[in-house]
Amino acid sequence: MNDTVPNETALQEEVQLLLQAKPASLLHFGFFLISAVLVWGSVTFVPDFLRLEPLGRQNLSQVLFVHYGTFFVLLWGAILFFRTGTNRCDGSCDR
Amino acid sequence: MKEAVAEEQNEVVREKAKTSITVSALMIAAAAVVFSVTSDKYIFLKSNGLYMENFSFDWASTVLMLSGFLSLTAFVLFVVTMDVLDRLLNKFAVGRQVDMTNYFYGYTSNPKYIGMLCLVMSVCTLVSYHSAGLAAYGLGLFLAVGYRYWFPEFILPSREGLQRVSHILLQGLRGLLIVAPLIVMIVDLL
């Protein structure tokens, strides 16, 4: 019957795993924020430098949207990439 | 006893698959609607000569093409997900039931996840055709609200001070993600 009750030790292990992952997640968040700012900078200044039609001249909202979109896709990509390798999902859990 | 637990878990997975099939169907419909609206607007742009056929950057046609591409990708991924979830309800050979169910359910995880990402992005890109600031606000809201869900927070007693500081910083950052597009929209209007 012990197999049917929730395993206390396993639960504590899961919490410990989450706690260990916390500094890493902060790091990811910071990394992706910086990368998003860099992308924003590139999108705004590089086309101008290359004398192409600059996105920055469209308007600030469009630049912000490109920045947010890149950030969003990178963040979700990171979650997918890191969790695929680290979680111990046996098919019964979901992201 | 282990087999009994596995069987019980198997039933839970199959039960959840039934709900997921309904959700996937809704997502397929949403992706189809976004694709339909996007292609309509794109055809309108082309037929009215508003489409710029040169190398210079054109915001309207670019975001519409991107939205169409993303919604079509989401559509395909959700169709695959639904097909796999449907297969999950099949009866497999004795002794293979649990393995096969787990395999198929695990397989749906990535297409469902990427499909969701594509669908959110396609909707926001479509909104950006009308108002880029509003689309940025939507994404900012999604990021700010979803952050606590993607990265659950536990305060450790030994590192409470440090974690409180990081918590406050992150709260500020999340607030900024929502407020920034609204400020930018006002600035653009001026």
Nearest residue of B to residue A74 by CA position? B117
Q: How far apart are CA B145 and CA B64, in angstroms?
A: 27
pLDDT the model gives residue B12: 82
Which of B135, B112, B108 is closest to B124 using CA atoms?
B135
Nearest residue of B to residue A63 by CA position? B132
Q: How confident is the model over A36-64, as pLDDT tens digits? A: 666 666 556 655 554 444 444 456 777 77
**Overall residue count recorded for chain A in this entry:** 95
Q: How far apart are CA B100 and CA B91, in angstroms?
A: 10
What value does the mean pLDDT take over residues B132-140?
Answer: 89
CB of A37 less than 8 A from some CB of B: no
pLDDT the model gives residue A95: 40
Q: How confident is the model over B76-125, as pLDDT tens digits? A: 999 999 999 888 888 877 777 778 888 888 888 889 989 999 999 999 99
Q: How confident is the model over B30-45, as pLDDT tens digits? A: 999 999 999 999 888 8
Give ∠ CA B174-B178-B182 in degrees, rounded to 5: 150
Taking CB atoms and an 8 Å cutoff, what residues of chain A touch B55? Answer: 52
What value does the mean pLDDT take over residues B18-39?
Answer: 93
Q: Do B184 and A15 touch (CB under 8 A)?
A: no
What ipTM score was computed for the predicted complex, to two decimals? 0.76
pLDDT the model gives residue B7: 75
The tokens 């393995």 sit on which residue?
Answer: B99
What value does the mean pLDDT take over residues B55-80?
Answer: 87
Q: How far apart are CA B2 and CA A94, in angstroms?
A: 22
